[in-house]
Amino acid sequence: MIIQPANRIRSVREYYFSKKLREIEKMNHQGVQVINLGIGSPDRMPPQEAVLALMRGAQDPEGHAYQNYKGLREIRQAFARWYKKYYGVKLDPETEIQPLAGSKEGILLLSMAFLDRGDKVLVPDPGYPAYTSASRLAEAEVITYDLKEENGWWPDFGQLEQMDLTGVKMMWVNYPNMPTGAQATRELYEQLVAFGLRHKILICNDNPYSFILNHERLSILSITGANACCVELNSLSKAHNMSGWRIGMIAGEADVIAQVLKVKSNMDSGMFKPLQLAAIEALAQDDGWYEQLDEEYRKRRKLAGAIFDLLDVKYDACCGGMFLWGKIGEEEESGEKLSDRILQRARVFITPGFIFGKNGNRYIRISLCSKQEVLKEAAERIRKSLLTDSFEHGSWC
């Protein structure tokens, strides 16, 4: 390069999965077919009505032009109906909802809209790496807060209150939690709202997993006072098997949404109209859609548990979301070492927990986004590998 990269880029590393997928691709190219249980990208079809709406929209000559930056009024109304029906939250579709190219876009948009150089952001450990990356791209200072198994993977509010919160403007939270599968309660959200109001911190709730293996669908915006200090991201990626379509939303106070729109309108030229028409149909699915989704994921969670049983990994069999998170045995050096051995010996990739923070070092994670037969095959490969290598507890190498 004839010029140097921006300083903000130097603090951001390439996403772990980007590098790991290249390694897996190389193994596949060499004839070693790897079963990838890493990334949470749903493998099932979206609602048929959404697919048909996309096709019809793409055949309309008027559907290929630039679109309103705010999105169609109809998609905002569809999101509002969805929130009212399933979360009990009333949102003004004119001012309190902004459609996004997936909720991940919203993480960066919020960071760009509200963070200046030197501002501080509370980020969970373990947590989604994008929270840290987006904060650093906005040249903010990342302050991690611990999530630990002994506290149910919830924030320790006593510990938070003892921290120096000077300059903290935002706090990222995510339930059902990725990667741990811990679920929220109204009590947790009430504590978060009170914390945000007390310290004048914007609580950013990332909520894309609330329809997956979750006994109670909750939005932090349903809590009294939340509108003054909270925003929420949501997505069609997980609940509607539409991860590649990149359709999400952000909801919150009108002034917050207006600031996000300022950034977004300078980054793109609106969502493709047929995608918006498809999203409207997806959001109109009845309860049966979500029930069959949960039924399938329950079966997959049980099969993922059988894999962990083979590896002597401890896990919560009733976790939410689309991953199974487990703690490795004391004889194992780290989750990363175990993950690498499984990849090399059994040709199965399981995500090591360290990529989500130091509190994930002794954990590994299985994605439930593989068909039941694939999970069974992964278990069989691991079982055979253990037998072939005359595995003795703590000495598999």
Domain boundary among 285, 300, 332: 285
Domain assignment of residue 55, yes or no: no
Domain assignment of residue 1, yes or no: no
Domain assignment of residue 166, yes or no: yes
Domain count, the chain: 2
Both 96 and 224 in one domain: the answer is yes
CA distance 258 to 267: 15
Domain assignment of residue 50, yes or no: no
Both 121 and 209 in one domain: the answer is yes
Question: Which pair of structure tokens corresponds to residue 309?
Answer: 């049983």
List all residues 6 or more positions away from 318 whose beta carbon is below 8 Å from its beta carbon.
none
8 A C-beta contact, residue 217 and residue 83:
no
Both 215 and 276 in one domain: the answer is yes
Give the domain extent around 384: 7-45+288-388
Domain boundary among 254, 269, 285: 285
8 A C-beta contact, residue 140 and residue 120:
yes
Question: Which pair of structure tokens corresponds to residue 328?
Answer: 């490795």
CA distance 209 to 296: 15
CA distance 232 to 230: 7
Domain containing residue 154: CATH number: 3.40.640.10
Q: What pTM was computed for the model?
A: 0.93
Both 239 and 181 in one domain: the answer is yes
Q: What does each of the 397 residues of the chain score in pLDDT, given as a tens digit?
A: 888 888 887 776 677 777 788 888 888 888 889 999 998 899 999 999 999 999 999 999 999 999 999 999 999 999 999 999 999 999 999 999 999 999 999 999 999 999 999 999 999 999 999 999 999 999 999 999 999 999 999 999 999 999 999 999 999 999 999 999 999 999 999 999 999 999 999 999 999 999 999 878 999 999 999 999 999 999 999 999 999 999 999 999 999 999 999 999 999 999 999 999 999 999 999 999 999 999 999 999 999 999 999 999 999 999 999 999 999 999 999 999 999 999 999 999 999 999 999 999 999 999 999 999 999 999 999 999 998 764 444 554 4
